[in-house]
Amino acid sequence: MFPAIGLVVLIVMVFGGFVFTGGALGPVMEAIPHEMLIIGGAGVGSLIIGNSMKELKALGGGIAKVLKGPKYKKQDYLDTIFLVSKLMKMLRMDGPIALEPHVEDPKSSAIFAEYPRLLADHTLVNLIADTLRLVVVSSGTLDVHAVEDVMDNAIKTHHHEVEGPQGALQSLSDALPALGIVAAVLGVVKTMGAIDKPPAILGGMIGSALVGTFMGVLLAYGLVGPLANRLRQVIDADAAIYHTVKQIIIASLHGHPQPLVIEAARSGIAHANQPAFAEVFDGLRGR
């Protein structure tokens, strides 16, 4: 919603301000399709050159993330705390053998089935199941710091992968002003080929060429750059839930009391999604 609102504000303020100060939109509107053909085509070409098909598809998904916003809400964090805490309680009370079927096949697990939205999140489920599988097969003899290192590496790898679209957008943003200059130079070349034309015609051709520079800068700093920045914010926000999983598992393996485990999980959650301590504690006590 907000990206769409921002786009409307951008267009209204830039072009409305131009008209308000006495500018004529006609020549600009006439030049934009031709300049955008060059700038947009060059931009798309550069994306194709610099990315594989997989990365280009991920870029489309990244744009969708910008429009939707962060994936996880407060209830998702609560459910994650409840899910992982229940698994860790089973490990502590019943031992690795009781936990094993749940982490070997989460889709068939009665515990995971209580949280269908989380069960559908393959990355989150794999992080939980793969980590606890290590604990199960080692019969609890693993060094906790080694488990933490494994989780950090898994989270880092996932984060690096989902950051790909953000990097592609940022690279495109950095390139657009120069591509705008390319369009402007071609417009000047065209103008020089018509140097014998009357001043009024030459003025229009020069103005059309300058629209290329204008569009390159506007797209870079008014649209694509902000999209890349917002995508980074969404990616960082969504990554918090993986750290919540990590905090519960590591704090539990250290043998910390439940209140400290809860606080370790809550501490890394943004205030907008952070459940109250009592909300988590009471929810766990009722499960």
Structural domain contains residue 17: no
Mean pLDDT of the chain: 90
Structural domain contains residue 8: no
Structural domain contains residue 10: no
The domain of 186 spans 26-287
> Each residue of 159-217: pLDDT tens digit?
999 999 999 999 999 999 999 999 999 988 888 887 878 877 877 788 888 899 999 99
Pairwise CA distance, residues 76 & 113, whole Å: 14
Structural domain contains residue 227: yes
Structural domain contains residue 3: no
Structural domain contains residue 12: no
> Each residue of 55-82: pLDDT tens digit?
999 999 999 999 889 999 999 999 999 9
Structural domain contains residue 21: no
Structural domain contains residue 225: yes
Number of domains in the chain: 1
